Amino acid sequence: MTALELRDVSKVYGVGPTEVHALRNVSLTVDAGVLVAVMGPSGSGKSTLLTIAGSLELPTTGEVIVEGTSLASMSRNERARLRRRSIGYVFQDFNLLAGLTSLENVALPLELDGVGAKRARVAGMQALEELGMSDRASRFPDELSGGERQRVAIARAVVGDRHLLLADEPSGALDSVNAEGVIRLVRAACQRGVAGVIVTHDAQLASWADRVVFLRDGRIVDQTMPPPGPESLLTPDARS
């Protein structure tokens, strides 16, 4: 099932001489259970692509379809509900609320969506358990390590019944061991059926994706082919 589709999406900021074409005719399809990485240098349009995919911004032209529904056909309120219910975001700097515990942070999107406090907490606890963080449920963000904070952020992004996980440089400033931990969790969420899009300039992170799309000057210029089985690396040629 297609979870996210961008059809010929362009985004222009400003007008006249200050006009900036952040995205140009971008088309991208992400199926449920698939992790796609978008790689490109700063200014290539990666973050714009993600905010448009997550309905935080509307494209100038083109269409964004989330779980079969075009965002253009929805009201502001309907889009806000879609964001609360179906889309999870993970940001580089985690964006956890400092005054809330891990569990409260994770349960918050459900509560905002009108789910009762008790049910929201049960679902939040389940998401924390899946990420091995249930023993940190009552800790506040400043009592957690960087890696733990990002786990909480991922739990918040997948809590409830979310089908689309969008991540902007999700390993941020984490060291390579913690960064690998984070991307393994994102990948595990995708293996449970979530569609994932991560934007990153980090090739090691991107290499966990099923497909890597390369963005340059707002355009998709290339993408990886489905890789052959890894056994091909273990032939005698691998010695050289």
Partner 1 sequence: MSVRHALLALLSEGPKYGLQLRQEFEARTGEVWPLNIGQVYTTLQRLERDGLVESDDEGEEGPQKGFRITADGAAELAEWLRTPPDMTSPPRDELVIKVLVALTLPGVDVRDVVQVHRRYVVELMQQWTRLKDDATDDEVGFLLVVDAELFRLDAVIRWLDAADGRLARLAADPPPVVTGSPLLPPRLRRRMGARP
CB atoms within 10 A of CB 156: 28
Query: What residues contact residue 222 under an 8 Å CB cut-off, 6+ apart?
Result: 213, 214
Q: Does 17 bind partner 1 (CB under 8 A)?
A: no
CA distances from 214 to 3, 5, 38, 159, 188 (A): 20, 17, 6, 29, 23
Q: Does 20 bind partner 1 (CB under 8 A)?
A: no
Instruction: Work out how close the CB of 227 gets to partner 1 at its nearest, in angstroms, rounded to a whole number.
Output: 5
Q: Does 212 bind partner 1 (CB under 8 A)?
A: yes
CA distances from 183 to 36, 78, 168, 198 (A): 12, 30, 12, 9
Q: Does 234 bind partner 1 (CB under 8 A)?
A: yes
Which region holds residue 28: left if phi is over 0, alpha if psi is between -120 and 50, else beta? beta
Q: Does 214 bind partner 1 (CB under 8 A)?
A: yes
Q: Does 46 bind partner 1 (CB under 8 A)?
A: no
Q: Does 39 bind partner 1 (CB under 8 A)?
A: yes
Nearer to partner 1, 152 or 154 (CB): 154
- In the list 52, 206, 215, 220, the residue contacting partner 1 (rule: CB under 8 A) is 206
Residues in binding contact with partner 1, number by CB under 8 A:
28
Q: Does 221 bind partner 1 (CB under 8 A)?
A: yes
The footprint of partner 1 on residues 139-198 (CB under 8 A) is 184, 187
